[in-house]
Structure 1
């Protein structure tokens, strides 16, 4: 199971590296491999994301700590936030990349990035017209427990009044997107990046 998750994440990492979103060793991707207890396969720290192999993942627990004591590799520093998002939202895939327009958007609109009247909003579960969608922005912090608390402050599950947005920007850092599986997480990531790129370009 871990090898299959590693192969899937290596494919995704090559795709996003090709877009320039995972330069050098930046960014990290995860897939849930078990829910009870929560376990995730997360890309290992310090590796070029364009050259990952199926073995380049680390198993982490619900706190983002290494779950396999025999594995000497370090999980990504952001593993704790991956685990928190997976637990909080029910997502089975969480992707974090350093897309430039997400960083610019978070700098320009620290209170959240408002989007409306764009057909691509349908791709993240919203109306193309007559609805304002806000991509939340949180301030960066080196402690993932702090970032998890900030996530909880801006993330709201879908209600009639506040529909869910499956993405978030970390100011001065990058963006996260998630989904029920790797394909949905990929679509959410790519669609939100497009929406942010359009918004930055037309501001």
Structure 2
């Protein structure tokens, strides 16, 4: 089995997990793993497919710009339009895997805190790689857009090595780690943290409390 096939199997399994959680509705979301650094190469889930129904073949090899490279076993398949942001995150952060889902809590949190979502003094922060107490974690938020280079510039401008996540306003969240498992654990913990933060800062009338 080739490295791309191994990656495709892992990406399909993770995608099915997230789809089952309601975080990859329709054909939304995309995942990637790094297969090489020099030059940068990533295996990225294909575009336009139900993420709960992917096979090991539903993967595309892309370069540092998120463009499909020439040596493709399935040249008719297209990478996600957001593959360029995956590549930028992997290049800047050194991550081995990047996951992008459309969980609701991060998007709602970004509406409430458009300059960055503050988190602190919650035990679940340990699962996100930060301290549970006396450690202010600010999850960056950037504006949505279709130009992945512009989104990549915005991500890099606010990048902090100890905060492995990025919320794209009115869109979704990116989380990364050394591998797909670590990225998954961080995402699951972050979603809990953001959901808790949103729900506990709403008053009885549904208005955000500052």
Normalization by structure 2: what TM-score? 0.92
User: Could you give the per-residue CA deviations for residues 63-107 of structure 1, whole angstroms, max 9, x where no partner exists?
Assistant: 000113651211100000000000100001000000011110111
1:164-194 per-residue CA deviation (whole Å, 9 max, x = no partner) reads 1111100000000000111111111111111
CA distance in 1, matches of 2:83, 2:98: 10
User: Which residue of structure 2 lines up, in the alignment, with residue 96 of structure 1?
Assistant: 100
Distance 1:15 1:72 in 2: 26
Gaps of 5+ in 2: 202-210
Residues 13-50 of structure 1: CA deviation (Å, up to 9, x unaligned) = 01000110000100000001111111000000000000
Q: Stretches of 4+ moved more than 2 A in 1?
A: none
Residue 193, structure 1, aligned to residue 191, structure 2: yes
Q: Which residue of 2 aligns with 1:152?
A: 156
Matched with 2:49 is 47
SS at match of 2:44: strand
Quote the residue 2:141 is aligned against: 137
Report the alpha carbon displacement of residue 156 of structure 1 after superposing the two structures with TM. Answer: 2.1
Is 1:80 the counterpart of 2:94? The answer is no
- Tell me how far apart the structure 1 counterparts of residues 71 and 119 of structure 2 sit (CA, whole Å): 45
SS at match of 1:58: strand
- The answer as to 2:125 corresponding to 1:121 is yes
Q: Answer with 1 or 2: which has the greater Rg.
A: 2
Unaligned runs of 5+ in 1: 158-163
Q: CA RMSD in A?
A: 0.9
Cα separation, 2, equivalents of 1:26 and 1:125: 27
Instruction: Calculate the TM-score normalised by the size of structure 1.
Output: 0.95
